[in-house]
Structure 1
């Protein structure tokens, strides 16, 4: 991988696998044509180089929690019980290319897909407490009395481990102190092979909650292989590829949002940091994160490739360390870190893709993506670089009619519209008031007249002559 790095995209979980990509502004442009000749083989699923897991870096612990009948707040807005009336993901294989997925009773039929981190592994070790959370959000089975379940609870999960913060290239620890963290491990060439491996295995949806963030156009041979792999998976194998949009803690040179002085500028003209594989937006559905109020998460990286958004803060999912649920990871230094990031927004959209593929099996991968984007809760501009076409809506994605073509990923320009002037209000009808006032005046007058007329009578009959 040379000097390139690769990261998971949880807001507080950084899997730095090497040094950064460099510096300097990017000469932004749309992705060039992909060279299909760079397509890598899908196997064997082994690390590109020898690796080691230092003894002073045990697997991360977790904080248990979230069990019980209450639906997690992040899932309430998705209205999953209503969506499950249409489909539950039956018959769909979803590949999770991540840090591995630990076996869990709520992931029945978990398929080991290979390991590009540890030689001889099969992808069912999750030292980083990341891939299992991702898999649970996609396909955790329902249990009586439990509010949490995966978006597509009847989908099957295939796990392919491609990265880990707790591994490193063999021998890298020779110059490290006993308290130093490993370098992390994860090669872009391995990601390209993992994408092809998942597609060849028949995955109908591929979730990639990992990003690399170069600050110049990704044109290396390894990046070319990754581009060829996503094109192959999407076109040749008809797989829906869902990828995280990236976080500002890993993509240090974040892209700007909308310029209020030039709101209709092409966002491709203002890219400071590329995010791959999201960059290849012709083949990848990129997902940003929103908070509990539907606002873009502060850590979510904007970009011209963002397609939709989903809840990505304070996530609850399957615990890789036990048979229950978890609300946070505990680092080896004792730091408790809630699960937040575009890493955890993406799998919820992968779950929706599995639902759509289950309900509409004849739709192509591109048509599934279009349906998800067209039925999202759109922002006022129609599209913006933070949440794309809007927050995903599973019920609408499974039930609404969609247009044949979406507008391009550009904010809609301001429109001038002459509103009709309101008609003059009709003159008020004061008849009832006038009648009441006149009647009251007459009654009052009669009372006064009657009172005055009583004076002579009282004087005549009320005074007596007292003379002898």
Structure 2
């Protein structure tokens, strides 16, 4: 069995990078940069079918959706991006965004959505979304504008291709035999199927690929097929945008101490404990962190030296996968209601901005677009950090600003000590005008006094003699 098929055989459950995610645990160890890409590990995009027989257990009901968010009010995430002004330059026309996720349900506000295939259930076409996650993602990217509705996607004239690659409602066939009747499904989705989905998206003509799911672990040699697929995408002039991951699921919980406070200028990769894929392949992908409505990093974002940019990822509004309206959350399999929050939902905002840029600058290569998105972000004080990368994405700047040929490296700008030039002493004041004025005033005052005194009559006192008596 060659190396390609050994990697493809790795079956690792992938986690959705959202508040209702899933995942399987891994030990913690020192991580390192991903290895050099081996193009021979790139899988085929065909057939779009699960490599294993899968099942959806009888107790695995589709997620209930929490509706809301309709009406004329513009959601906070849209206001933060100032889309009303950005749309004067581009609405993403002509762009095709592949959503590799839990599927995308057909919705009237996703006109022209194309089924891209199903790596979860045999015979599917990618338009079943039992989890709801993929439809939320697609809506944030490309939901069309509707009169009277404040919510719309970042690139409302872009088109979606849906490729279902993971679901927490499915598992390998026969897994229920070793479970209690009320046990939840294992979930399904592997590194191998993700790599195949990336290749399939490229081959189907996507200009942007959104991946709002992650694998976390300490191993450094199990995702070579992902690296090869990402390299294929970039070399094919496709921009891939991937989530940084959430620390609320077990495999992503270890906190990466990327920046050593005792040595803030050290290599950020030297302090990584947990890998996040595909985000860690940062030579080929835009890795996205989440911020709150105040611009602060979200507490759930997994930090890493691969972070590129950030966008709002908390309390979002998107499309309802069970109807024709909008939604503000979902109910998980344990009955817990969760908002639409996570790096999963910051990622599609960035994918939407990429679609805007690609529509406005069709001559730009994928690498140039990636550089533009990073160079025009609202940078943190230190220039780059492990939670937001180069900063919060800025659509208007990305659509209008000039950008440098190169970006600074992904590490905080080190503090500098500079001796400021001591200013020269100021020249002595020139008081000539003041002195002339004072002297003139004195002369006039003296003249006035003398004139005043001269106006009085002179009295003489005469002496008395004896003749006067």
- TM-score interval for Structure 1 and Structure 2 normalised by the shorter chain: 0.7 to 0.9
Say whether residues 1:25 and 2:29 are aligned partners: yes
Contact residue 163 and residue 185 of structure 1 kept, 8 A: yes
Deviation at 1:258, TM superposition (A): 2.4
Per-residue deviation, residues 410-438 of structure 1 (Å, max 9, x unmatched):
111101233456777999x9x9xxx9xxx
Among candidates 15, 20, 23, match of residue 22 of structure 2: 15
What is the match of residue 329 of structure 1?
330
1:15 and 1:115 map into 2 onto residues whose CA distance is 19
1:148 and 1:70 map into 2 onto residues whose CA distance is 7
Contact residue 15 and residue 164 of structure 1 kept, 8 A: no
* Change in 2 beyond 3 A, CA 1:257/1:39: closer
The residue correspondences of 1:67-78 to structure 2 (distance < 5 A) are 67-78=70-81
What is the match of residue 360 of structure 2?
359
Contact residue 287 and residue 387 of structure 1 kept, 8 A: yes
Deviation at 1:30, TM superposition (A): 2.3
1:254 and 1:107 map into 2 onto residues whose CA distance is 37
1:271 and 1:258 map into 2 onto residues whose CA distance is 9
Contact residue 93 and residue 158 of structure 2 kept, 8 A: yes
- Equivalent pairs counted in the alignment come to 429
Deviation at 1:178, TM superposition (A): 2.0
What is the match of residue 129 of structure 1?
132
2:399 and 2:279 map into 1 onto residues whose CA distance is 24
Among candidates 2, 10, 13, match of residue 5 of structure 1: 13
Deviation at 1:216, TM superposition (A): 2.6
The residue correspondences of 1:274-313 to structure 2 (distance < 5 A) are 274-313=275-314
What is the match of residue 348 of structure 1?
349
Q: Secondary structure at the match of 1:212?
A: strand
Contact residue 258 and residue 305 of structure 2 kept, 8 A: no
1:425 and 1:293 map into 2 onto residues whose CA distance is 49
* Change in 2 beyond 3 A, CA 1:107/1:425: farther
1:355 and 1:335 map into 2 onto residues whose CA distance is 36
2:420 and 2:340 map into 1 onto residues whose CA distance is 47
The residue correspondences of 1:248-287 to structure 2 (distance < 5 A) are 248-250=247-249, 251-287=252-288
Contact residue 101 and residue 135 of structure 1 kept, 8 A: yes
TM-score under structure 1 length normalisation: 0.87
Per-residue deviation, residues 34-79 of structure 1 (Å, max 9, x unmatched):
1111111111100110001111111001111100111111221100
What is the match of residue 413 of structure 1?
414
Deviation at 1:2, TM superposition (A): 4.2
1:31 and 1:105 map into 2 onto residues whose CA distance is 41
What is the match of residue 243 of structure 2?
244
Contact residue 10 and residue 190 of structure 2 kept, 8 A: no
Q: Secondary structure at the match of 2:81?
A: coil
Identify the range of structure 1 (170-179 vs 41-50) with the bigger mean alpha-carbon deviation.
170-179
* Change in 2 beyond 3 A, CA 1:166/1:425: farther
The residue correspondences of 1:27-426 to structure 2 (distance < 5 A) are 28-217=31-220, 219-220=221-222, 223-235=223-235, 237-250=236-249, 251-419=252-420
* Change in 2 beyond 3 A, CA 1:413/1:190: same
Deviation at 1:260, TM superposition (A): 2.4
Deviation at 1:4, TM superposition (A): 2.7
Contact residue 279 and residue 306 of structure 2 kept, 8 A: yes
Deviation at 1:322, TM superposition (A): 1.1
Q: Secondary structure at the match of 2:202?
A: helix
Contact residue 227 and residue 278 of structure 2 kept, 8 A: yes
1:24 and 1:124 map into 2 onto residues whose CA distance is 36
Contact residue 6 and residue 211 of structure 1 kept, 8 A: yes
Deviation at 1:332, TM superposition (A): 3.8
* Change in 2 beyond 3 A, CA 1:3/1:252: farther
Contact residue 215 and residue 253 of structure 1 kept, 8 A: no
* Change in 2 beyond 3 A, CA 1:279/1:332: closer
